[in-house]
A = this chain, B = another copy of it.
Amino acid sequence: MSDHLHRLPTGPVDLSAIETDVAPGFDGGKSEGKAALFELGDELSDLQERLFAEGRSGSPRRILLVLQGMDTSGKGGVLRHTVGLVDPQGVRITSFKAPTQEELSHDFLWRIRRALPDAGYIGVFDRSHYEDVLIARVRELAAPEEIERRYTAINDFERELVDEGTVVLKCMLHISAAEQKERLLARLDDPTKYWKYNPGDVDERGQWPQYRRAYEIALERTNTPHAPWFVIPSDKKWYRNLTVGRLLHDALVRLDPQWPDADFDVDLERKRLIDEAPLT
């Protein structure tokens, strides 16, 4: 289980004290890490299918994986390499962008609730309701009292999800400012990556300390026992992908989803098929 390695302790958070370029709990380098993730695939797939089967039989249980992190921290990479290991039929991915006019006319959780996965699914949020206390705080997109209110609203919302049978797995992909700079420069050096580059990202980067502080406050105030935060060293992409995979795996193992019993008479059905009239 990877939980204890990355589970954020309660209390004040100092992100600068959490290393980004390390691989705790894993003996080996990049190629071993990639192989370990690939090997995890079969078991992840099996557990996901059980969860899906359970959901089809009336169980309300589901998983919500929340991915947060600075630009270039690798939310997309986790989706491709880790979430991509399981059957896409059982996954619902939502990438949250700047809210639309309609979304802004509602409470900040309105669009979030609409994107929740159905029972039996693994829902993945690429950015999430946390943006409403991150960029919203740094860019002053809402009044301070409203930002303040949101931390409690988020905790209440997540409590409600957990009570309904949702595992809320919150991962912060933690990179250093130097690593972000390298990744942005790499996008400029590769014409197949231009489309991922947005000059606005550099403006946001200029506010790095403000974003870090906003993350620290958000992590501290929403690091609840029912929906704790995991901070994942993410300078090493392979370690980031593997670690989210392991956390997802552990969450599924703890859920221990069960193949549903037959809600029909198995022997009778077998007999119907074997004794069927010619198909004419």
| A80, B87: Cβ atoms closer than 8 Å | yes
Does residue A17 face the partner (Cβ distance < 8 Å to B)?
no
Q: Chain B: which residue is nearest A207 at the CB level? A: B279
Partner of A93, one of B88, B95, B206, B273: B88
Q: Which residues of B contact A161 (CB under 8 A)?
A: none
CB distance from A38 to the nearest CB of B (A): 12
Q: Which residues of B contact A181 (CB under 8 A)?
A: 273, 276
Partner of A259, one of B192, B205, B269: B192
CB distance from A114 to the nearest CB of B (A): 14
| B53, A195: Cβ atoms closer than 8 Å | yes
Among the stretches A26-34, A104-112, A183-191, A245-253, the one at the interface with B is A183-191
Alpha-carbon gap, A260 to B191, bound state (A)? 8
- The answer to whether A273 and B185 touch (CB under 8 A), given A205-B279, A209-B280, A279-B208, is yes
Number of copies: 2
Does residue A194 face the partner (Cβ distance < 8 Å to B)?
yes
Alpha-carbon gap, A185 to B273, bound state (A)? 7
Q: Which residues of B contact A56 (CB under 8 A)?
A: 195
Does residue A262 face the partner (Cβ distance < 8 Å to B)?
yes
Does residue A18 face the partner (Cβ distance < 8 Å to B)?
no
Does residue A11 face the partner (Cβ distance < 8 Å to B)?
no
Does residue A83 face the partner (Cβ distance < 8 Å to B)?
yes
Quick one: which of A42-86 are within 8 Å of B by CB?
53, 56-57, 76, 79-80, 83-84
| A270, B188: Cβ atoms closer than 8 Å | yes
Q: Which residues of B contact A76 (CB under 8 A)?
A: 89
> Which among A188, A195, A208, A277 has the greatest number of chain B C-beta atoms within 10 A?
A195
Alpha-carbon gap, A89 to B91, bound state (A)? 10
> Which among A91, A95, A188, A270 has the greatest number of chain B C-beta atoms within 10 A?
A188
| A197, B264: Cβ atoms closer than 8 Å | yes
| B266, A209: Cβ atoms closer than 8 Å | no
Q: Which residues of B contact A141 (CB under 8 A)?
A: none
| B260, A194: Cβ atoms closer than 8 Å | yes
Interface CB pairs A-B, < 8 A, 11: A79-B88, A88-B91, A181-B276, A184-B273, A185-B274, A194-B262, A199-B272, A202-B276, A205-B276, A206-B276, A206-B277
Give me the interface of A with B, judged by CB distance under 8 Å: 53, 56-57, 76, 79-80, 83-84, 87-89, 91, 93, 95, 126, 177, 181, 184-185, 188, 191-192, 194-197, 199, 202, 205-206, 208-209, 259-262, 264, 266, 269-270, 272-274, 276-277, 279-280
Pairs of residues from A and B, 3 with the lowest C-beta to C-beta distance, nearest first: A53-B195, A194-B262, A208-B279
